[in-house]
Amino acid sequence: MNKFLIIGFGIVTFFAGCRSFGPTTIPRDRFDYSSAISESVKNQVLLNIVKLRYGDMPVFVDVSSVISQYELANDFSYGFGWTYSSAIPTERTPSVGGSSKYIERPTITYAPQTGEKFTKSLLTPIPPSAILFLIQSGKSVDVVFYLCVQSVNGINNRYEASMRSAPIHPDFVELLKRMRKVQQSGMIGTRTQTDEKKQTSLFYFSKDVSPEIAEDVKWIKQKLGLNPQASEFKVVYGSTNQQDEIAIMSRSVMEILVQQASSIDVPAEDLQQNRAYAVAKTEDPFLELMSMHIHSGRQKPADAFVSISYRGKWFWIEDTDFKSKQLLSGLMLLLSLMESDRGGNQPVITVPTG
């Protein structure tokens, strides 16, 4: 009987040692929920880009809270009995039993993004200061301008939409190429000047540059109508400028989404049946490098960075297409940047583990 008592004591000790498991769930829950929310945001952004190409209404739904509750129930039993008769010797019948039950009950709350504030965040042009912050953070100036800017000092970028289409001005392409060269040399930068009344964003060119970069800076100033002797210029929102200003007509997040929708490889039958609008393909290899490439097909892709199903077809970005992956990630960053009131609506994860 002693061996059964030892076994029973061991089981009781085991169950007693498993009462608290809250800390062990933190690494798993943080990683799992973070990955799941990130993937869902990527899918949602891609889905809305595709919907815009098909004339559908974009809809954004946020995860406002995650509550995951755990329950661990243990049970242990021990019994001992015997029987005796004249025909059968004394027979001992000890028994030991136990059970454990683990339950997880996640509760996830979704909040559709609607109302005046959210609509304004989609339709309001991106502040020029935010564009400068992106450049200062290390983003390529040509990609940022091509994605976020419709015109600089009256020089127009391209725009492709169902109701409005505008070709890119050749000087805008050349401007992007030369600004990229100057940025790579480390000879341009941005800063913010604050006084008692307002905050001013400034864009500057370094004075000590090589002859080649100096020629690029000279061309940029000439095409933008800037003072050739100045090295620092105020950045303002608008389509016209003075000699000490760089006037940026920036795009809204909605315009950026529509522009990216023009890069979808829409199935030919959908274009023929007028289910989606057609766009003119750019022939400039330089601009192709700055465009997101979204594939389409009947079958789910095997190796995709992000993929969604829409109207019986699959749309995706290849995992090997690093440029398109960066553009999508930058677009997600812009969405977060423009939703200035999102601070109080970030997903809250509550995990009761008692």
Give tens-digit pLDDT for 171-181: 999 999 999 99
Burial 178-199 (b: 16+ CB within 10 A, else e): bbbbbbeeebbebeeeeeeeee
Band the pLDDT of 6: cuts 50, 70, 90: low
pLDDT the model gives residue 344: 45
Query: How large a percentage of the chain has pLDDT more than 70?
Result: 76
Least confidently predicted of 29-33, 168-172, 173-177, 319-323:
29-33
Residue 60 pLDDT class (50, 70, 90 cuts):
confident
What integer pLDDT is reported at residue 86 of this predicted model? 56
Enter the tokens of residue 294: 């979204």
**Backbone angles phi and psi of 264, in degrees to 5:** -80, 135
Which pLDDT band holds residue 161 (cuts at 50, 70, 90)? Answer: confident
pLDDT surpasses 90 at 291: no
Q: Specify whether the CB–CB gap between 230 and 239 falls below 8 A.
A: no
Higher confidence at residue 243 or residue 347?
A: 243
Please write the tens of the pLDDT for every residue from 210-245.
889 999 999 999 999 998 888 899 998 988 887 788
Hey, which of 35-44, 76-85, 186-195 has the most confident mean pLDDT? 35-44
Burial of 350 (0-12, 13-18, 19+ CB in 10 A): exposed
Min mean pLDDT across 48-62, 118-132, 309-323 is at: 118-132
Q: Lowest-confidence range among 4-13, 59-68, 173-182?
A: 4-13
pLDDT of 342 > 80? The answer is no
Name 70's Cβ contacts closer than 8 Å, sequence gap at least 6. 21, 22, 25, 102, 103, 104, 105, 351, 352, 353
Taking 60 as the threshold, does the pLDDT of residue 83 lie above it? no
Task: Evaluate if residue 313 carries a pLDDT over 70.
Answer: yes
341: left (phi over 0), alpha (psi -120 to 50) or beta: alpha
Q: Taking every pair of C-alpha atoms in the chain, what is the biggest distance, in angstroms?
A: 120
Question: Please, which pLDDT band fits residue 341 given cuts at 50, 70 and 90?
Answer: very low
Helix locations, 206-353, DSSP H: 211-223, 253-261, 268-272, 285-288, 322-338
Q: What's the rounded mean pLDDT across residues 246-257?
A: 92
Render the burial of 243-269: b for 16+ CB within 10 Å, e for the rest: eebbbbbbbbbbbbbbbbbbbbebbee
3-state secondary structure of 274: coil
Mean pLDDT of 198-207: 82
**Contact 241/213 with Cβ under 8 angstroms?**
no
Token pair 């003075």 is found at 242
Q: Look at residue 240 in the predicted model and tell me its pLDDT.
A: 81
Q: Identify the pLDDT of residue 90.
A: 55
Tokens of 16: 């007693």
Handedness of CA 331, 337, 340, 343 (dihedral sign): positive
Distance CA 227, CA 212 (A): 20
Name residue 202's beta-bridge partners.
191, 234
Query: What mean pLDDT is reported for the chain?
Result: 80
Q: Which two tokens stand for residue 75?
A: 């049970």
Residue 109 has pLDDT above 90, yes or no: no
Q: How many whole angstroms separate alpha carbon 317 and alpha carbon 325? A: 7
pLDDT at 102 over 80: no
